[in-house]
Chains A and B, each alone.
Chain A
Amino acid sequence: MRRKASWLRWFEERYDIDEIKNLAKSKLVPSHKYECWYFTGGIVLFLFVTQFISGMVLALYYVPHGDFAHKSIIDIVTKINAGWFFRSLHHWNAQLAIVVAFIHLFSALLLKSYRKPRELLWVSGFILIGTSIFFGLSGYFLLWDERAFAAVRVATGGAGNLPLVGSFIKAFLRGGIDVTGETLTRFYAFHVSILPLVTLFLIVMHLFLVQYHGMSVPLSLKHKTRGDIPFFPNLFYKDLIIWLVAFGMVVTLATFLPPEIGKKADLLAPAPENIKPEWYFLFLFQTLKLFPGTILGLNGETIAIVLVSLAIVFFFLIPFFDRKSARQEMSRLFTWIGTIYLAYFVVMTIIGFFS
């Protein structure tokens, strides 16, 4: 009989490994024709982990100061061994994480995974998407080039158009009246300490709730599942395969399409022409373009921001409005609402990208 490794014996003397193994084996996942959407959450988790690691590597060399930030990034890309790769990996990993997070969100919406008793799962996931987007915006600004500078000026200016709280949010984000070096310090703090802690807390909460409630089965398939399959090892191995595919994709994109670095931000220069925000803000950018300067004597941009904010708040509160799904009944109205949201987001993003 083969002897156990000494480190394993050391662990077994202190912890009940068999019980942990049995717990892992007892977790079952329903198998049905929409089970592929379960994997999107796992991909986001994997990309978040990769993002944290590549971010830690970059943080070793980045200098968060208006005078040195841009140069430190050039140094990372041109002087540090494989620095270009880690920066590119961090960039593409973030893009893919947000794409998959949106897919995960819309799949949860259309499969009604938010219905009772999983409302808090939806809430934690929705806030996670919000933090991911803010991660993207703050990370983009750390580049301290003229495009990032103009994008943050527009984004924080847009937030400033919200009635009552707008000016406070704008001043809080900018750390002053305008976007300056103070804003860079603030965004760096958000990007490397505040947002990671909030994200970590939300991920733990989200995962705990997934374990607590189990995986949601769509109402239309309630009695048509193919039975349950064990998470470990079946689903875990499938997850591993998908993570490897995702990692291969990110590394390939990072190698073939490293992101450009623009000119250093000039606080006094006008915004460059044809400036566009990051792709996940394009639907918002395009919506703002639809509104005229003034509507009935009121600021058109303020009205647009208020309407978009209301639409986002409604989206966030869908689990509490969709009473039919809460009663485990089919709810076509909210399927249509979800489809309209998805179509609007996709169409406006595409128009914004090509305009």
Chain B
Amino acid sequence: MIRIIILFCFIITLASSRVFAQPENIEVFPSAPYDRYIIYEMLALFRVGIIGLIVIIRMKLKEIERIQFMGLDTAEKEIPLLD
């Protein structure tokens, strides 16, 4: 009987060790709530920065196109200069 119990315990131990020995999923993203909060906050700031830059470049481009449309970007040839 004792042999059977020992064998049973051995099998259970072996089986459970096989189960628990499965490598855990490797954390590919910080798991601490504080770290996550900081990351999402940084991402939000980054997105705001990106959108801000896009708006500034778009405004600058519109201004350039307006100047080009009016023909103010090209220097007049043979323009009299004041020395």
Chain A positions within 8 Å of B, measured between CB atoms, are 74, 77-78, 84, 87-88, 233-234, 237-238, 240-241, 244-245, 247-248, 251-252, 255, 258-261, 263
Q: How far is the CA of A247 from the CA of B28 in the complex (A)?
A: 21
Question: In the complex, A237 Cα to B55 Cα: how many Å?
Answer: 11
Q: Which residue from B27, B29, B54, B60 sits with its C-beta under 8 Å from A244?
A: B54
Q: What does the 1/0 interface line of B50-68 toward A look like (CB < 8 Å)?
A: 1001100110110011001
Mask, B27-63, CB within 8 Å of A = 1, is 1111000000001100100110010011001101100
Q: B27 to chain A: closest CB distance in Å? A: 6
Q: Is the CB of B26 within 8 A of A251?
A: no
C-alpha spacing A247/B46, complex, angstroms? 10
Are B61 and A258 touching (Cβ within 8 A)?
A: no
Given A77-B28, A88-B28: A252 and B57 interface contact (C-beta under 8 Å): no
14 further contact pairs, Cβ within 8 A, besides A77-B27, A234-B64, A248-B46: A78-B27, A87-B28, A238-B61, A240-B57, A241-B58, A244-B50, A244-B57, A248-B50, A251-B46, A252-B47, A255-B43, A258-B28, A261-B26, A263-B23
Consensus secondary structure, chain B interface: helix
Q: B25 in the interface, Cβ–Cβ < 8 Å?
A: yes
B30 in contact with A245 (CB, 8 Å): no
| Beta-carbon nearest neighbor of A262 in chain B | B26
Residue of A nearest to B31 (CB): A78
Q: Is the CB of B64 within 8 A of A260?
A: no
Residue on B with the closest CB to A263?
A: B23
Tell me if B28 and A260 are in contact (CB < 8 A). yes
In the complex, A263 Cα to B64 Cα: how many Å?
55
Nearest CB in chain B to that of A259: its residue: B28
B-side contacts of A263, CB under 8 Å = 23
The minimal Cβ–Cβ distance linking A205 to chain B, given in whole angstroms, is 30
Using known A-B contacts A237-B64, A245-B54, A248-B50, determine if residue A84 contacts B43 with beta carbons closer than 8 Å. no
Please name the residue on chain A nearest to B30 by beta carbon: A84
Residue of B nearest to A70 (CB): B26
Residues from chain B with a CB closer than 8 A to the CB of A252 are 43, 47
A237-B60 contact in complex given A259-B28, A260-B25, A261-B26, C-beta closer than 8 Å? yes
Please determine whether A255 and B65 come into contact, CB atoms closer than 8 angstroms: no
Q: Closest residue to A248 on the B side, CB-wise?
A: B50
| Cβ 8 A contact of A241, one of B26, B30, B57 | B57
> Least Cβ distance of B61 to chain A in Å?
4
Q: What is the distance, in angstroms, from B8's C-beta to the closest C-beta of chain A?
A: 29
Contact A84/B50 with A238-B61, A240-B57, A252-B43 known, Cβ cut-off 8 Å: no
Given contacts A233-B64, A237-B60, A241-B58, contact A248 B27 (CB under 8 A): no
Q: Closest chain B residue to A235 by CB distance?
A: B61
User: Closest residue of chain A to B25, judged by CB?
Assistant: A260
Task: Give A92 Cβ to nearest chain B Cβ, in Å.
Answer: 12
Interfacial chain B residues near A238, Cβ < 8 Å: 61
CB atoms of B61 and A244 under 8 A apart: no
Which residue of the partner chain, among B28, B30, B46, B53, contacts A261 with CB atoms under 8 Å? Answer: B28
